[in-house]
Amino acid sequence: MKSIFVLLLLCLFSFFCLTSCDDIVNYNDGYTPAEQQANAGAPVIKAVYDVADTAFATPITQGTLGQTVVLVGQNLNQVQSVSFNTVACDMNNVHTMATRAIVQIPSKLSTEQVNKIEYITPQGTCNYDFIIPFPDLIINGLACEFTNAGDSATVYGKNFDLYDFEGGVSIIKIGSQTLGVGSVTSESMKILIPEGTPENTDIQFCWQTNGTSHEAALPFRPSQYMLFGDFSHVSVSIDGSVQMTIETDDGIGASSWLNQKNMHFTGHYGAWAWNTIDLSCNMIDVVVENPDDYVLKMEVLTNANFPLTEQTGLQFCFNWGDAYAWNPANGLGINTRGQWQTVTLPLASMATKGISEPGKWQTLRIIFQPHADYDADFRLANFRIVKR
């Protein structure tokens, strides 16, 4: 009897399940996700927004490299390619639906400033006016202006990787000879200085932006501006415990040779000890009417274990004027690790009593006053006054 009762319950359960299933409505019938909807025609872009503008409140007419934006329009599915200024976007970073497309502007753009978005689907192509301001090429200088001929030199600046120096679109020349280029990044670039390149030669940089040609020049071994030359005919006066010798490249690794004499500072110095070195000679044939228009340049080399910092206490002044306290790399310090590096300092701050006329006696005082006990091992060379 019990078995018959259980069997009847199972039959009733099956009956209600079957009749209930017949009443279920499948609300997904005929539904197509937004990213799969078919286009009704060629793509249309009506506006562009930054991806953070989720309310689509403020359309934008220009963007920046690497920025993610939303294109709003019609027929934007099944996209085959999206380009900004002729450079294709990474399609892995493109997401579409019928009325919107999220895209990332390429981080590298063509120098051809067409200022257009090109959007292609199987149904057609749309071109939409949109500006990507092309970053200017900024050339700050050589890491060491006294790199030797035949060696590679490092150029510092910004946006080198956008100007295709490796492909020859932008070029670097000495005279009529185009230089080899390697290791290009956004902020630096390696160039090869040809064997036999003479001193006092300009390195020429040539590039184009939006069809306009540009040129800039950097000096290679500008020895004509050196104040003290090889230190002959220079009066050297030392006051304090400074241990400084005028040396050649002997004792420096061959890859770091300057082929100029340098001042080598060594020894232990107590906190706040006052030490000065005066270098005096006749002024070279350079007229400095306004020190604000000029800088003092020199080459610096530090031992890896003895970096230069603000605590080193180096100061400079001309002709007994106010002293300029050097804060290397704006507080970051300098450690050249046995390589020569060019340093640029403002002349006006150390020439408050002016610069002597050509042929007149002139003194550069170097003050060495460490803020704490300090062990020194660094070199300075090639002091020169040049126009900004």
**C-beta neighbour count of 36 within 10 angstroms:** 12
**pLDDT score of 39 more than 50:** yes
Mean pLDDT of the region 15-23: 46
- Give me the residue spans of the domains in the chain: 39-129, 138-221, 224-387
Q: Residue 9 has what pLDDT?
A: 38
In the predicted model, is pLDDT for residue 271 greater than 80? yes
pLDDT level of residue 377 (50, 70, 90 thresholds)? very high
pLDDT at 14: 47
Name which CATH class applies to 39-129.
mainly beta
Q: In which band, very low, low, confident or very high, does the pLDDT at 10 lie, cut at 50, 70 and 90? A: very low
Comparing 39-129 with 138-221, is the CATH topology the same?
yes
Residue 30 pLDDT class (50, 70, 90 cuts): low
More confident residue, 332 or 57: 57
Q: Domain 138-221: which topology?
A: Immunoglobulin-like (2.60.40)
Among 140, 114, 112, which residue's Cα sits nearest to residue 127?
A: 114
- pLDDT, one tens digit per residue, over 145-156 is 999 999 999 999
Q: 74-84: b or e for each residue (b if 16 or more CB lie within 10 Å)?
A: bbbbbbeebbb
Contact 121, 45 (CB under 8 A): no
Confidence of residue 50 (pLDDT cuts 50, 70, 90): very high
Can you give the pLDDT at residue 109? Answer: 74
CB contact at 8 A, 263 and 257 = no
* Calpha distance 302→304 (Å, rounded): 6
- Out of 3.30.160, 3.30.519, 1.10.600, 2.60.120, select the CATH number for domain 224-387: 2.60.120
Cα 89 to the chain's mean position, in Å?
23
Q: What is the pLDDT of residue 111?
A: 63
Q: From edge to edge, which strands make up the β-sheet containing 124-129?
A: 87-88, 81-84, 116-121, 124-129
> What integer is the mean pLDDT of 29-36?
66
Tell me if residue 121 falls in helix, strand or coil: strand
pLDDT score, position 28: 54
Cβ(299)–Cβ(342) under 8 Å? Answer: yes
Q: How far is CA 347 from CA 30, 217, 318, in A?
A: 78, 21, 9
Is pLDDT of 316 > 50?
A: yes
Q: Is 232 helix (H, G, I), strand (E, B) or coil?
A: coil
Q: How confident is the model at residue 31 (pLDDT cuts 50, 70, 90)?
A: low
pLDDT band for position 29 (cuts 50, 70, 90): low
Distance, CA of 204 to CA of 211 (rounded, Å)? 19
Lowest mean pLDDT among 80-84, 140-144, 211-215, 294-298: 211-215
Q: Which of 225, 314, 316, 237 is nearest to 280 (CA)?
A: 237
- In the predicted structure, residue 385 carries a pLDDT above the cut 70: yes
3-class secondary-structure state, position 66: coil
What is the value of pTM for the model shown? Answer: 0.75
What is the overall mean pLDDT for the chain? 89
Residue 175 phi/psi, 5-degree rounding, is 65, -125
More confident residue, 127 or 25: 127
Host H or E run for residue 17: helix 2-22
What does the DSSP 8-state code read for residue 357? P
Structure tokens that stand for 137 in this block: 């090429």
Q: Are 224 and 146 in contact (CB under 8 A)?
A: no
Residue 1 is predicted with a pLDDT of 45
Whole-number pLDDT of residue 18: 44
C-alpha neighbours within 13 Å on the C-beta side of residue 140: 16
Taking only the tens place, the pLDDT of each residue in 228-268 is 999 999 999 999 888 999 999 988 887 789 999 999 999 99
Query: Of 106-120, 130-144, 257-271, where does mean pLDDT reach its minimum?
Result: 106-120
> Can you tell me the mean pLDDT for 99-124?
89
- pLDDT band of residue 35 (cuts 50, 70, 90) is low
